[in-house]
């Protein structure tokens, strides 16, 4: 099996957890004894874990964004200053 194209395809499809797990399994000699279904289960579990972890982390707000008191929506700092001046 061609490893690099498979990993590239997984990443292209947004399955980075599976891609990372695939790379790790390829380097472990014990993994060669696993059945296809066991490999798939490990890859899927890693992808699910990666997604759960990223979903539990809040999205970072860029440093030049501020929250307006009225809308609670992020806007750029420059726009916030112009709103404050015009109010």
pLDDT per residue rounded down to tens, the chain (87 residues): 556 899 999 999 999 999 999 999 988 888 888 899 998 999 999 999 999 988 887 766 666 655 555 555 555 555 555 555 655
Paired with 74 in beta bridges are 67
| 6 CB burial (10 A radius; 0-12, 13-18, 19+) | middle
For residues 47 and 21, give the distance between their C-alpha atoms in angstroms, rounded to a whole number.
Answer: 8
């Amino acid at each position: 099996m061609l490893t690099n194209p498979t990993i590239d395809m997984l990443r292209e499809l947004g399955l980075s957890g599976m891609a990372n797990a695939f790379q790790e399994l390829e380097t472990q000699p014990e993994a060669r004894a696993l059945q296809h279904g066991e490999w798939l289960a490990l890859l899927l579990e890693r992808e699910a874990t990666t997604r759960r972890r990223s979903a539990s982390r809040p999205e970072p707000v860029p440093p030049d964004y501020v929250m307006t008191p009225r809308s609670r929506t992020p806007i750029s700092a420059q726009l916030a200053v112009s709103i404050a001046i015009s109010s």
